[in-house]
């Protein structure tokens, strides 16, 4: 098994949407809404996550397992 980290901007939008709309994943995301998470919302979400790298020098990573997007996480700026 090969595990890698990369920026969320390198992940296909459809893969991110698939993960972030999965019922099992949503159970662990208390701030997630039941509303539709469409392509525009996803692009805005990725842009906000990537901006954290620019503003703070750290941010969330995309996790790849055997070159397949498996999730995201890491340090994230919070007010």
The tokens for 15 are 């893969």
Q: At what angle do helices 39-56 and 13-20 cross, to 10 degrees?
A: 100
Res 35 pLDDT > 70: no
Query: What is the DSSP track for the chain?
Result: --EEEE-GGGS-HHHHHHHHT-HHHHTT-TT--SS---HHHHHHHHHHHHHHHHHHS---EEEEETTEEEEEES-----
The residue extents of the domains of the chain are: 3-73
Res 31 pLDDT > 90: no
- Tell me the average pLDDT across 22-44: 82
- Write down the pTM of the prediction: 0.85
- Tell me the average pLDDT across 3-21: 95
Give me the pLDDT at residue 46, please: 96
Give me the pLDDT at residue 27, please: 85
């Amino acid at each position: 098994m090969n595990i890698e980290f990369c920026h969320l901007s390198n992940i296909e939008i459809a893969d991110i949407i698939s993960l972030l709309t999965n019922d099992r994943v949503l159970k662990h995301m208390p701030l997630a809404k039941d509303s539709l998470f469409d392509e525009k919302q996803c692009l805005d979400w990725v842009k906000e996550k990537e901006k954290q790298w620019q503003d703070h020098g750290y941010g969330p990573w995309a996790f790849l397992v055997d070159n397949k997007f498996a999730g995201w996480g890491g340090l994230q700026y919070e007010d």
